[in-house]
Structure 1
């Protein structure tokens, strides 16, 4: 229709083109009167989003958000199993078998899959854990920094089997300290690490930290 085409043309003519670089917000960080740069000091946050790690005591259980551990995954490259084993032994780095966690100083580790482990170390001395592990293993293994991808919560108490039977399909009554396994808590894939009598770590995705913490609190309250 001629009238419709004319109206469409008029509408197009009155539209003012916008530059794709134009922003409605002022983004300059320079104070023009003093030419000084604004202070952009960053403050670290825990996986739960706070300045300090959370700690709750519920009944006979103590729940703690742990942020002092660096994590890195180590996977043996093809044909390098013996070389990795030799270098790990020389560094005092344990490489446990399936479903196991082994402590050490400064490194601890738990099994992920065949020829693959998650390595733990103190964050204060091994913040750049990738650099430390790369220096130990060179081209014999693939190293991936994992620290910021995970949240860790430690649970202490005398009745941990009763707590975890409400959380995941792992029967702790038939297991012992040193056991490590992958499981599911509230539909969240996690690692369960039994570190010592009365203490278990749950390591889950950082993006699900709040949901995981809530699940642990809820189960603890049910037994309080």
Structure 2
């Protein structure tokens, strides 16, 4: 029998935390993710079932929603990324699929992405060095796909000017972490 130990995207057994000035970057390994894409001809059925699952309408373009237990992020026309706490929703794709049935294609995404929370009153100064988001209009629940350090990432505002969640490719977690911590050191 193998004695395996789970590790985070950055290779640790505990989340990695970096601080520069009054800004903190925290690796968040306990997030389950699933992508949802409405099937052709089933867009309205998918939207209705997804709204019931989320307890609110699915996010519009450029938006995200947070809920209990699921949060959602608009990723494209009739497409969303859903997230939940890994400890209670490890099999998120199967859970979501059971609600949406044949109205959508649901794909497990948990180990495909690394998740970082960037918090503090000067996060906009850090983000200005990392990506091309118009931060003056980026309020709570805004979300967008952007490039950070040549990596396709999602940036989700969880509290305007104070907190964002960054999702990036897990295979490039080290590069993304380095880019963010370098920007933190430069901006503050």
Q: State TM-score, norm by structure 1.
A: 0.80
- Distance of 1:143 and 1:94 partners within structure 2: 18
Q: How does 1:8-157 map to 2 (within 5 A)?
A: 39-91=1-53, 92=55, 94-157=57-120
Structure 1 stretch 116-125 or stretch 171-180: which is displaced more?
171-180
How far is the alpha carbon of 1:82 from its aligned partner? Answer: 1.9
Which residue is 2:168 aligned to? 204
RMSD: 1.2
How far is the alpha carbon of 1:174 from its aligned partner? Answer: 2.3
Structure 1 stretch 210-219 or stretch 170-179: which is displaced more?
170-179
Instruction: Select the structure of larger CA radius of gyration.
Output: 1
How far is the alpha carbon of 1:90 from its aligned partner? Answer: 2.4
User: What stretches of structure 2 of length at least 5 have no aligned partner?
Assistant: none
Which residue is 2:187 aligned to? 223
How far is the alpha carbon of 1:171 from its aligned partner? Answer: 2.2
Q: Deviations over 1:102-137 (max 9, x none)?
A: 111111101110000000111111101111011101
- Distance of 1:115 and 1:137 partners within structure 2: 13
- Distance of 1:113 and 1:89 partners within structure 2: 17
How far is the alpha carbon of 1:94 from its aligned partner? Answer: 4.5
Could you list the structure 1 runs, at least 4 aligned residues long, displaced by more than 3 angstroms after superposition.
none
How far is the alpha carbon of 1:196 from its aligned partner? Answer: 1.3
Tell me, yes or no, if the aligned pair for 1:152 and 1:202 is still in contact at 8 Å: yes
Structure 1 stretch 122-131 or stretch 140-149: which is displaced more?
122-131
Structure 1 stretch 44-53 or stretch 91-100: which is displaced more?
91-100
Higher relative contact order (CA 8 A, sep 6+): 2
Q: State TM-score, norm by structure 2.
A: 0.95
Is 1:171 aligned to residue 134 of structure 2?
yes
- Distance of 1:59 and 1:71 partners within structure 2: 31
How far is the alpha carbon of 1:216 from its aligned partner? Answer: 0.7
How far is the alpha carbon of 1:85 from its aligned partner? Answer: 2.1
Tell me, yes or no, if the aligned pair for 2:9 and 2:114 is still in contact at 8 Å: yes
- Count of aligned residue pairs for this structure pair: 186
Q: Deviations over 1:121-177 (max 9, x none)?
A: 111111011110111011110000000000011100111221111111112122211
